[in-house]
């Protein structure tokens, strides 16, 4: 089994490499170097978003690899996301075209709706805010109409698959029931303290695969929230990387705690996208195919789940976010 688990497979047969490089807060100036190291190490899945403001440098780096002949376009799985500001049917094509142009690609492998919440369409280089610092919401967000815009991107060849991120079960069901092209993947926060059991079971029943963001507990969320005027004191402070049980299992395998946290998710058949801009840690996070957690270790790690209390990102991440009628995290899952 240690050698398997290379991919997860979508309902349409498309294969997504199970470990990808996360790039949130990997800024231009560092993301290109991070991607070079990752591609050398064997990563073939890159997770970005219009909102990460790094698609241009990712595109330039990929172009360099393609033109050198070291990789072909079909060797890499590229994911990007529709921003909050693009949350209307006509916004889908507009923002996907911007992403494709920055990435210098004709298509992405997976296009996700980044979040069920919609903002006014002001691209001011960050999150649009009012004079009190609250995000400028567009409360008319209509997921069913937006999904039609997503399907049109598959029809036009700009996205191989389409999916959702940060949607709750109720919202997923609404999209799924209206969909001509079903969502292939759901990307949500998931780690050893927040294992998303109910949402995973719900998605499995609809043949929607799962991708975990924040697999190491997203330690860099706190400075991000502070810099955007969110209330960092209302976010739980967890440190999965120094959990005593995770440490003990890591020592037994001669691995790091990060590697155990990643491997745990892989063995649950969830794709995982750890972010690092540090060359040693990028390599470390990919050296997870040569060991296997035993059923007893998996069971012990499963017992660390705190359920919804383990969620690190909540309505306090951005001021005003929780006031949107489609804010997803007031539902249990
Ligand atoms: N869809 C969404 O709304 C959403 C939300 C959040 C994230 N994401 C995606 O998911 C990716 C991963 O989530 P995340 O970035 O929030 O958090 P994460 O991957 O859990 O944690 C990243 C943080 O951990 C550090 N780190 C990485 N490898 C490490 C290691 N081996 N040992 C110790 N520290 C390590 C990184 O610092 P260094 O860079 O210094 O190594 C960085 O500060 C994102 O980058 C993004 O692509 C999506």
Mean pLDDT of 227-247: 93
Asked if pLDDT for residue 17 goes beyond 80, the answer is yes
Asked, for residue 92, whether it belongs to a domain, the answer is yes
What is the position in ligand 1's atom list of the atom closest to the CA of 112? 1
How far away, in angstroms, is 214 Cα from ligand 1 center?
5
Averaged pLDDT for residues 116-133: 87
The domain containing residue 133 runs over which residues?
Answer: 14-320
What is the whole-number distance in angstroms between the Cα of residue 116 and the centre of ligand 1?
A: 21
Taking 50 as the threshold, does the pLDDT of residue 142 lie above it?
yes
* Chain Cα centroid distance, residue 97: 20
pLDDT for residue 306 is more than 90: yes
Q: How far is the CA of 332 from the centre of ligand 1 (A)?
A: 24
Among 17-26, 225-234, 304-313, whose mean pLDDT is lowest? 225-234
What was the pLDDT predicted at 127? 86
Residue 330 lies in a domain: no
Is 50 exceeded by the pLDDT of residue 110? yes
Q: Whose alpha carbon is nearest atom 37 of ligand 1?
A: 276
CATH number for the domain that contains residue 100:
3.20.20.100
CA 289, 67, 55 angle in degrees (round to 5)? 70
What is the pLDDT at residue 104?
98
Burial of residue 186 (CB within 10 Å: 0-12, 13-18, 19+) is buried
3-class secondary structure, 156: coil
Q: How far is the CA of 219 from the centre of ligand 1 (A)?
A: 7
The residue written with tokens 């360099």 in the block is 64
In sequence order, what DSSP letters do the residues of 209-267 get, joined into one string?
Answer: EEEEESTT--TTHHHHHHHTT--GGGS----GGG-HHHHHHHHHHT--HHHHHHHHHHH
| Residue 305 reports pLDDT greater than 60 | yes
Residue 328 in any domain: the answer is: no
- Distance in Å, CA 49 to ligand 1 centroid: 14
* 214 Cβ inside 6 Å of ligand 1: yes
Domain count along the chain: 1
pLDDT classification of 230: cutoffs 50, 70, 90: confident
23 lines ligand 1 (CB under 6 A): yes
**Structural domain contains residue 286:** yes
Q: What is the pLDDT of residue 225?
A: 92
Residues 6+ apart with CB under 8 A from 4: none
The reply to whether 43 belongs to the active site is no
Residue 217, ligand 1, Cβ within 6 A: yes
Q: How confident is the model at residue 128 (pLDDT cuts 50, 70, 90)?
A: confident
Q: What value does the mean pLDDT take over residues 105-131?
A: 92
Rounded to the nearest integer, the mean pLDDT of the chain is 96
- Residue 126: pLDDT band with limits 50, 70, 90: confident
- Give a yes or no: residue 35 inside a domain: yes
Whether residue 124 lies inside any domain: the answer is yes
Residue 225 placed within a domain: yes
Residues in the chain: 333
Is 288's pLDDT higher than 90? yes
Query: What is the rounded distance in angstroms from the CA atom of residue 35 to the CA atom of residue 219?
Result: 20
Percentage of residues in the chain with pLDDT exceeding 70?
98
Band (pLDDT 50/70/90 cuts) for residue 2 is low
Which residue's CA is the closest to the ligand 1 atom numbered 36?
276
Quick: pLDDT tens for 150-205.
999 999 999 999 999 999 999 999 999 999 999 999 999 999 999 999 999 999 99
* Confidence category of residue 3, pLDDT binned at 50, 70, 90: low
pLDDT at 292: 97
Does residue 325 lie within any of the structural domains? no
pLDDT reported for residue 1: 47
Categorize the per-residue pLDDT at 294 as very low, low, confident or very high, splitting at 50, 70 and 90.
very high
25 pLDDT tier (thresholds 50, 70, 90): very high
- In this prediction, residue 14 carries a pLDDT of 98
Which residue CA neighbors atom 5 of ligand 1 most closely?
A: 213
Catalytic residue among 43, 52, 95, 111: 52
Residue 82: C-alpha distances to residues 6, 198, 277, 279, 319 (Å): 27, 26, 23, 29, 20
| Ligand 1 proximity of 55 Cβ (cutoff 6 Å) | no
Residue nearest to atom 39 of ligand 1 (CA): 276
Tell whether the model's pLDDT for residue 227 goes beyond 80.
Answer: yes
Does any ligand 1 atom lie closer than 6 A to the CB of residue 241?
Answer: yes
């Amino acid at each position: 089994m240690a050698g398997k688990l290379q991919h997860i497979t979508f309902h349409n047969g498309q294969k997504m490499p199970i470990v990808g490089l996360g790039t949130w807060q990997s800024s231009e100036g560092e993301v290109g170097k991070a991607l070079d190291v990752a591609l050398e190490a064997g990563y073939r899945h890159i997770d970005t978003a219009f909102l990460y403001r790094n698609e241009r440098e990712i595109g330039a780096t990929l172009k360099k690899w393609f033109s050198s002949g070291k990789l072909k376009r079909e060797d890499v799985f590229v994911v990007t996301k529709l921003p909050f500001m693009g949350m209307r049917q006509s916004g889908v094509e507009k923002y996907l075209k911007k992403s494709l142009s920055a990435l210098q690609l004709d298509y992405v492998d997976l296009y996700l709706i980044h979040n069920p919440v919609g903002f006014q369409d002001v691209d001011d280089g960050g999150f649009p805010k009012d004079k009190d610092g609250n995000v400028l919401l567009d409360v008319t967000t209509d997921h069913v109409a937006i999904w039609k815009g997503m399907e049109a991107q598959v029809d036009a060849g700009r996205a191989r698959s389409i999916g959702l991120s940060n949607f709750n079960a109720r919202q997923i069901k609404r999209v799924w029931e209206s969909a001509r092209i079903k969502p292939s993947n759901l990307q949500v926060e998931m780690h050893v303290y927040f294992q998303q059991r109910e949402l995973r079971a719900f998605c499995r029943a609809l043949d929607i695969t799962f991708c975990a963001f924040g697999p190491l507990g997203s330690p860099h969320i706190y400075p991000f929230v502070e810099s955007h005027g969110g209330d960092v004191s209302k976010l739980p402070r967890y440190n999965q990387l120094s959990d005593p049980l995770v440490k003990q299992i890591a020592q037994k395998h001669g691995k790091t705690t990060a590697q155990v946290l990643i491997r745990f998710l892989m063995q649950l058949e969830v794709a995982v996208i750890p972010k690092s801009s540090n060359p040693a840690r990028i390599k470390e996070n990919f050296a997870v195919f040569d060991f296997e957690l035993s059923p007893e270790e998996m069971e012990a790690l499963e017992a660390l789940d705190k359920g919804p209390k383990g969620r690190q990102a909540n309505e306090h991440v951005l001021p005003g976010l929780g006031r949107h009628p489609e804010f997803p995290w007031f539902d249990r899952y």
